[in-house]
Structure 1
């Protein structure tokens, strides 16, 4: 089972366990809102485009309301079963869903008391590192000065480097931790377990 698939299964089980009204780290979202988002993203690309295109916001809202009128458990189970045959994500699960499933799994896990960071094996940690390398610098590109991401056991990633500042420069903000924690940090999750050295207020989070 791929990391994306195992995270899908684990998140699905947790959503069913908690029910539709549990909180998440996504502001204003309950677990039902999360389930609706996940299902629409994969199975209604026409509506999912509204996550990025303002002109389609109304269509996204309408489709989400339609999905939300269904039984919560049915929504979750359909999402856990994977993308429909007509969804382009059916063949791109590993490429597109490692970060999505991991982050939203943590959004649900860390909204509860008593959570602890998870420890991942080599293959899963590498999958998370790949996503971090793909998106980390882009998500921090608006920062006021260079930000250096230092994933444990891997080369540094430099974001917002506008003047050729070396990754070992002194006038930088450094963020260190496991790849998954850095990924959560770059996506703006305050609960990420990382160490920040330098002026944290210079960091700006930008959407993809």
Structure 2
């Protein structure tokens, strides 16, 4: 929850990511396969301002250059739907958190620590995402556990157990497995199903 002096999480992640993009420049790598920081900035602009995100539209946005794109992102998201309180952090905050980590991790920056705000939104998203992941590995079950001891179980017992800090779990479940600092244990068949 934000205070009067602290902007909402999605805004903080947006501004921090823009700072990092400006610092690294348009050609730095990201964890999004085939995308540079310029590609990612164009994607974020398109995601918030247009209903369709074609390669042609991304090329048009990229042609404007990174400074123009980060300036547009810094200006904030449109009020609808991105500033609706429930949508703001859970959807937009999570999007910026993941993409911020896409840039950080691809450029050798360590995981951020001491950020309960990030852990809170990541854990809320993980609990939703894990349900869909568990359906994909049926008949095996899935347990998601934080290093602090919180856990959620989906499906039958005795399946795969994925453990890590909430942001790391979010990265794993959003397809950034190699960049996440997680432990995957449990039934070998369930583990193999989750890895697939």
TM-score by length of 2: 0.84
Deviation digits for residues 44-79 of structure 1, max 9, x if unmatched?
1x214xxxxxxxxxxx22222221221221011101
Match of 1:88 in 2: 81
- From 150, 153, 177, the equivalent of 2:164 is 177
Distance 2:88 2:145 in 1: 27
> How far 1:118 sits from its partner (Å)?
1.3
Q: Is the 8 A contact 1:21 1:32 kept in 2?
A: yes
Deviation digits for residues 123-165 of structure 1, max 9, x if unmatched?
4322221111122221443125212111233542234x2xxx2
SS at match of 2:130: helix
Matched positions, count? 183
- The structure whose RCO (Cα within 8 Å, separation 6+) is larger is 1
> How far 1:41 sits from its partner (Å)?
0.1
Distance 1:4 1:155 in 2: 24
CA RMSD after TM alignment: 1.9
Q: Is the 8 A contact 1:139 1:187 kept in 2?
A: no
Unaligned runs of 5+ in 1: 49-59
TM-score by length of 1: 0.80
